[in-house]
Structure 1
Amino acid sequence: MPFPDEVAPVRVVPARAGWAAEGSELVASLDRALGPLAVAVDHIGSTSVPGLPAKDCLDAMVRASDLDGVADRLVALGYRLRPEPWNAEDVTWGEAWPKRVLAPAVGARRCNVHVRLPGSGSARYALLFRDYLRADAEARDAWGRFKLRLAASVPDIAGYGQIKQPATEVLMRGAEGWATRVGWTENRSEG
């Protein structure tokens, strides 16, 4: 659930050119703040895909072996640890992976910082989502149309998420096929 200052209807907007620069700034600030605690920091999610409509909320992923150490460092910097159980674990293709998700300080740029283990299925999934939709304009455009229609008909974040989750799994089956065809791996990820 969102923090009280984040409560608002789901609003998916057309892609914004500025998201790439804002994502780069967020990644750089996290990288500086975390130093050697972070194995890698990436801009992920819909705002990382040029041309894809999205909620105006950046997503970044920190890959780190010490999830709690990273979360503690970010909390000390003003981020807020999301307390819900689903923000402590991802289930990717039936396998559970630990994670932490943090929100920004009150009044800061809307974002989610996902902290995942390097080499985990959930870290791979996030990078594959981004890279697949960057590479396949048809899939990107179809996904964008779906998200715009969904947000227009289900503006409640819980309902939006419940419908989007199984649809994401369908999208990601196509992404897995693409990854096999092109030889994609998370180590050859597209930044």
Structure 2
Amino acid sequence: MTNPKYQIVDYKESWPQEFAQIARQLREGLGDQLYPLLFRDCLRSHPKTAEAYAHLKRMLAEHLAEPSMYPDVKDPAVDLIYLAAEDWAEQTNWKPGRSDF
């Protein structure tokens, strides 16, 4: 069942620039700000995981009857990816890079 309120659109290369004006700048070493940087870098290093995560998000957006449940259903998958990302960071001696914004 597709929810008529929401539409899935393809990623646009221009989005980082378009949304930069509203995006919060991430600075190295600030606790919870490391989370999105590590998540991003790990997914970039593991394209199959990134593809599976994108597929999950598309399927949830398309088939979830109640859109407000989206974060609750998606969060366990995000937690699993992040736990693997922490291991990956330790194994690779990952250091946070710059934000894309």
Write the letter of the residue equivalent to 1:127: L
Q: Which amino acid aligns with 1:131?
A: D
State how 1:1-191 maps to structure 2 within 5 Å: 9-23=5-19, 26=20, 29=21, 60-63=23-26, 119-120=30-31, 122-154=32-64, 156-186=66-96, 189-191=97-99
Runs of 4+ in 1 over 4 A off after TM superposition: none
Choose between structure 1 and 2: higher strand proportion: 1
Given that 2:26 and 2:98 are in contact with CA atoms closer than 8 Å, whether structure 1 keeps it comes out as no
> 1:139-180, CA deviations, whole angstroms, 9 ceiling, x for partnerless residues?
111111111111111153321111011111011112112211
TM-score by length of 1: 0.43
Q: Percent identity?
A: 26
- Tell me if the contact between 1:10 and 1:155 (Cα under 8 Å) persists in the aligned partners: no
Give the secondary structure class of the aligned counterpart of 2:16: helix
Higher relative contact order (CA 8 A, sep 6+): 2
Given that residues 12 and 147 in structure 1 are in contact (C-alpha distance below 8 angstroms), is that contact kept between their aligned partners in structure 2? no
Residue 13 of structure 1: SS of its match in structure 2?
coil
Contiguous gaps of at least 5 residues in structure 2: none
The structure that is helix-richer by fraction is: 2
Give the Cα separation in 2 of the matches to 1:164 and 1:22: 25
Contact 1:154 1:160 in 2 (8 A): yes
The answer as to whether partners of 1:10 and 1:151 remain within 8 angstroms in 2 is yes
Cα separation, partners in 2 of 1:151 and 1:129, compared to 1, 3 Å: same
CA distance in 1, matches of 2:6, 2:85: 25
Q: CA offset at residue 63 of structure 1? A: 4.9
SS of the residue aligned with 1:163?
helix
